[in-house]
Amino acid sequence: MNELSKVTSENISSDVMDRELMVTYPTEAFLSKEYLEAEKKLLWPKIWQMVERETDLPNPGDWMTYDVAEESIVVLRKDDGSLKAFHNVCPHRGRQLVSVPDMLPGKVHDVRGNNRRNFVCGFHGWTFDLEGNNTYILDPQDWGEGALTPEMTCLSEVKVDTWGGYIYINMDPDCIPLKEWMGRAGEILDHFDLAGMRYKWRQWAIYPCNWKVAIEAFLEPYHVAGTHTQLLAYGDYYALSKQYGLHSVSSYDTRDDKFKMSESAGTTRAGKGDDPRVSTYELIRENYETVNYSASTETLVKAASRLVDELPETATPAECIAHWIKSAKADDAARGVIWPEVPPEIKQESGLAWGLWPNQNILHGETFALCYRVRPYGDDPNKCVFESYALERFPEGEEPKTEWVYAEPNGENWGSVLAQDFSNMEFVQKGMKSSGFRGPLPNPHQEQKVINLHRNLADWMEGRGAVTLYHKN
């Protein structure tokens, strides 16, 4: 018999995670239709979730739809520059106010437009202004004099706020403020001024796995050695991870003290090998080129390529990183890209990438971010909407014009590293259905972001999928 046994059926506390104890959780969150139905009630209508970048709705009258599970939301920019959001449903007999077809590969990502003055329902013509007030009903006297009140005939409002240049919504009128929701994770990431970055590219796909399997494939670097084997030639991928309440972070760790420095937790770290001038360049170039030109910038890659000319052979990893960052920063400043000043202790704590619960992951730097967002697709727990995008800090006015592009999940569209990740996700979804699968055994040190995803889900899902503790008999 296995010497480890399950000792409690209660969801673990964050303290268990901090102590890095061994835990497991059932597969129902990934596979069960009942669980997916419960998400529609207990999760999506209750949480703060990211809709889009603010820059996509720059002008008064700009609007778009955001759909998740069976909910559809209209978000718009008002004349005073503030944002407003409504449930996308007419209060008369429930037609969608704006018709939103199901997301369709190559065709429909969302519905959006400009110069909106009002919304007219296509069924019986009830009309609403940008505040959501009803401004027109055909034959209101038929209901009886004064029977229809403004509260009965206005649109249902949804909470909307912004953080880091993102528009967020929450359908729960009693929810905590977004700032509180973001917590320490938000405070740390604020140092990186994500709001000052713009889209470099953005792609989406319908992918055959549960949304949790999809986001989990990007939460931890523990899989690099097994999945992205080619990257081991350039650097070590030992990682640590840590819960921050709802959210959580992963960082590169090191077993070798000479590589320990405030820069070494993220992508601006030294490569392995005898000459850090060469290996640091090779590490960042390989990452940049095989992760679809993201997770770094051309400025950083070029500055790294000059290390071998600009530094003596005796340069230590710490000297290489210091010189690299300084020269990349100067190169960027010369073209009008000013880096935010991130204090070293924040840089260290900020690590490599943040899991923003429940469905986002952001790998950040001072001038770039590589991000993921996933959502369920239809009523099938085996499908999800997978989105990834790169942000970058551009000189004013030089940001590229981008829009959501449907891209089949392959190496040509997404780069060879993401293609390797795709090659796992579908088969995790299949594998977990095996009657021989005893349940996940996540790494308590390196995969805390995955554990924390489930711990928080169980809290919102009335205990479904609880993360439980193992201990040695």
Segment contacting ligand FES by CB under 6 A, of 38-46, 61-69, 89-97, 156-164: 89-97
Strand partners, 163: 166
Q: Does 90 bind ligand FES (CB under 6 A)?
A: yes
Question: Which helix (H) or strand (E) element contains residue 455?
Answer: helix 448-460
Per-residue string for binding with ligand FES, 302-321, x by CB under 6 A? --------------------
Segment contacting ligand FES by CB under 6 A, of 91-99, 222-230, 305-313, 432-440: 91-99
Pairing of strands 239-244, 405-406: unpaired
Site for ligand FES in 16-55 (CB under 6 A): none
**Closest separation between CB of residue 155 and ligand FES, Å?**
11
Of 121, 167, 356, 369, the one binding ligand FES by CB under 6 A: 121
Longest dimension (CA), the chain: 89
**Alpha-carbon torsion 235, 236, 240, 241, what sign?**
positive
On whether the CB atoms of residues 350 and 365 are closer than 8 A, the answer is: no
Of 40, 78, 92, 159, the one binding ligand FES by CB under 6 A: 92
On whether the CB atoms of residues 254 and 264 are closer than 8 A, the answer is: yes
Contacts of 285 by beta carbon, 8 Å cutoff, 6+ apart: 301, 304, 305
Of 19, 33, 117, 124, the one binding ligand FES by CB under 6 A: 124
Say how many residues touch Fe ion, by CB under 5 A: 1
- In 3D space, the residue among 464, 457, 467 whose CA is nearest the CA of residue 46 turns out to be 457
d(CA 381, CA 197): 34
**Which residue's CB is nearer to ligand FES, number 105 or number 125?**
125
Of 95, 191, 260, 302, the one binding ligand FES by CB under 6 A: 95
Residue 457 amino acid letter: L
On whether the CB atoms of residues 5 and 473 are closer than 8 A, the answer is: yes
- In 3D space, the residue among 46, 96, 69, 65 whose CA is nearest the CA of residue 167 turns out to be 65
Of 4, 101, 123, 229, the one binding ligand FES by CB under 6 A: 123
Of 30, 48, 119, 126, the one binding ligand FES by CB under 6 A: 126
Strand partners, 160: 169
**Which residue's CB is nearer to ligand FES, number 90 or number 249?**
90
- In 3D space, the residue among 370, 432, 404, 4 whose CA is nearest the CA of residue 206 turns out to be 404
Binding partner of 92, given Fe ion, ligand FES, none, CB within 5-8 angstroms per partner class: ligand FES
Q: Does 156 bind ligand FES (CB under 6 A)?
A: no
Report the length, in residues, of the chain: 473
Binding partner of 191, given ligand FES, Fe ion, none, CB within 5-8 angstroms per partner class: none
Three-class DSSP labels, 350-368: HCCEEEECCCEEEEECCCE
Q: Does 421 bind Fe ion (CB under 5 A)?
A: yes
**Closest separation between CB of residue 61 and ligand FES, Å?**
21
Q: Interface with ligand FES by CB under 6 A: which residues?
A: 90, 92-93, 95, 121, 123-126
Residues near Fe ion (CB under 5 A): 421
